[in-house]
Chain A
Amino acid sequence: MSHRIVVGYDDSGSAKSALEFAMNLTKTQGGSIVVAHVLEWSPYSFLTPTELEERHMRRREELERANAALLAPLVESLKDSGVAISTALKYGHISETLCEIATQEGADQIVVGRTGSSGLSSRLFGSVAGSLAQSAPVPVTIVP
């Protein structure tokens, strides 16, 4: 059976640990990795008329920036690792979108870093790792 792991990735240290963990797992078990980056977005937010007008342009810029600054260098640095790596870049609610990506890619595991922030915001709104643990369609590994 070929394993496929979705790794929730951003520029944090814990995301790097999560990717490392997934790499080691894939090296021993075989399979492939989908590096997924989600840009936080709600279709129910409120924008000014000028923001509406520019939204399409901004979206394109944001996608290009995320790809150029985050995903492309990562894929480049891992191309000699011997592990098959693809990327996914989406807008949406972070944990929900990671679940959607896992379903679409037919992944059998999601790996995310625990941001480690025990701050006020995660207490109020819940962490990505926490909500994934509750709602993911496949097993979730949370890497400290």
Chain B
Amino acid sequence: MNRLSKVAALAAPALMAASAPVLAQSIDQTINDGFASATGWFVSFIFSPFPGTSFPWIVAWLVVAATVFTVYFGLIQFRAFPHSISLVKGDYSDPNDAGEVSHFQALATALSGTVGLGNIAGVAVAVGIGGPGATFWMILAGLMGMASKFTECTLGVKYRNEYADGTVSGGPMYYMTKGFAERGIPAGKFMAVLFSVFCILGALGGGNMFQANQAHAQISNVVGDFPGWITGIVFAVIVFAVIVGGLKSIASVTEKVVPFMGVLYVLTALVILLMNYDMIGWAFGQIFAGAFTGLGVAGGMVGALIQGFKRAAFSNEAGVGSAAIAHAAVRTKEPITEGFVSLLEPFIDTVVICTMTALVIIITGQLVSDPATGMYLLDEGASTIQTVNDNKGVALTSAAFSSAFGWFQYVLAIAVILFAFSTMISWSYYGLKAWTFLFGEGKGKELTFKVIFCIFVVIGASASLGPVIDFSDAAIFAMAVVNIMALYFLMPIVKGEMDSYLSRLKSGEIKKFH
């Protein structure tokens, strides 16, 4: 009886669904095929490996940069960590500047742009392909990425434009033009233009399509399968209302709810870890062993490393340049202080939140391993690890969390939608800044970009995960190519600011106000 009713329950929606969505599915299919063929060349260029290896040059580029900044600034991410926290608490804020953008606000806004699907779906992708070992490389990339973020955000504040009406604009395009001119380096303008082009693509890709795609995946995971373009249109209308219609209430509600969702997510993960406290040691064992041996996953150790670094960079955006745009509005006389504050971002995003996701997926046993050898079993095609019920991306994280708390899939669905939405709002702003840098300010020009942005929401929700994630990664990493090059040229300026500030802090010239 029980079994019969289950079959009936499964069959009824299937019968109803069979007739109508043939047309709908074919719309999705057309969008997907067109998109994949239009972006394929760009993706394969960005991810092309070093000749004779399987190691993509772009991953090496990010790792080398993070290492260079970490060494050049003398492990600043660890030395300045306590000071960063007092800055965020407002210990060094002049009370007469109350009412201006505080360090906390700049950090919170930048975080709500980065904390999102990268932390939930991206980690699941990394662990699903690279195994638990990917987590190790992800944490390492997060720790080193703190130095990249420190460099770019200091420059973002130092070279921002302050206009007569009191508004500010900052970001890599401004430090590329102004900073390069100041140091007498040519081609600043060219790099700024190139960066802006990639930033627009990144805003449409990782900041938009990937979000729409995974939000749809999460919704259909809870309510059942339905065509992606429906989610896409609903999202596009809401995004349009906010960024074009100036409907501030939706945006400000999201900005307030997102931090609570983030805290709830971490707390739930902690509870699941505590419930399985006896397995935490085992999970870390898997992470360390997997980091250096791969435990039989596709690509072995290198596969784990590539996935870990890729997803960390995609999640915390260190070296990408987006955070430099977000942090530029803070009120401070010392640009370096915003650098200190911003280095907390990869820490919170990657070292804390991403690690939580990975641990929950590993501990709840979502990855299928061979009981005899302890090696992970691979899917057909041997590119991903077999998971319980064949879950991928956000569905994998959802399955992991709801294996402990069944209701959590609903909370996660809401969290994913809100995270996706707040990331889209942030990236629509980053993209817009790049767009106005290229084409100049003006209502008509801004509207053009905003409409394009909304169209891509629909495309992102309709396409399948593979092409979307490839293009999103490629666009975001293309930003990092240009941005990191600029950071190499400008890092002596940051060093000068840092040395001056730290010596004044030591001598007591810079005082606490509270």
Contact = CB atoms under 8 A, between A and B. Distances in A.
Interface of A: 39, 41, 43-60, 62-63, 90-92, 97, 100
Interface in B331-358: 331
B104 A43 contact: yes
A49 B248 CA distance: 12
A58 B101 CA distance: 11
Contacts of A44: 102, 104-105
A1 B321 CA distance: 60
Contact of B167 (A48, A53, A97): A53
20 contacts: A41-B98, A41-B99, A43-B98, A43-B102, A46-B108, A46-B109, A46-B252, A48-B426, A52-B329, A52-B330, A53-B168, A53-B169, A54-B167, A55-B100, A56-B100, A57-B166, A59-B99, A59-B100, A59-B166, A92-B95
Contacts of A48: 109, 248, 251-252, 255, 425-426, 429
Contact of A46 (B93, B98, B259, B326): B259
Contacts of B172: none
B506 interface: no
Contacts of A52: 101, 105-106, 109, 326, 329-330
Nearest to A55: B101
Contacts of B105: 43-47, 52
A64 B98 CA distance: 15
Given A47-B255, A48-B252, A56 B101 contact: yes
A51 B102 CA distance: 12
Contacts of A41: 98-99
B331 A56 contact: yes
Chain B CB within 10 A, most for which of A48, A56, A100 = A48
B256 interface: yes
Nearest to B258: A46
A41 B101 CA distance: 11
Most B C-beta atoms less than 10 A away, residue of A39, A54, A92: A54
A41 B104 CA distance: 13
Contacts of B93: 43
B113 interface: yes
Interface string B95-127: 100111110111011001100000000000000
Nearest to A56: B166
A51 B168 CA distance: 11
Given A48-B425, A48-B426, A55-B101, 11 more contacts: A43-B90, A46-B105, A46-B109, A47-B101, A47-B252, A49-B113, A49-B329, A52-B329, A53-B169, A54-B167, A59-B100
B165 interface: yes
B255 A56 contact: no
A82 B76 CA distance: 60
A91 B95 CA distance: 9
Given A46-B255, A47-B255, A91 B425 contact: no
Nearest to B254: A48
B99 A91 contact: yes
Contacts of A57: 165-167
A79 B38 CA distance: 73
Nearest to A50: B429
A43 B104 CA distance: 7
B98 A91 contact: yes
A54 B331 CA distance: 12
Contacts of A50: 429
Contacts of B256: 46
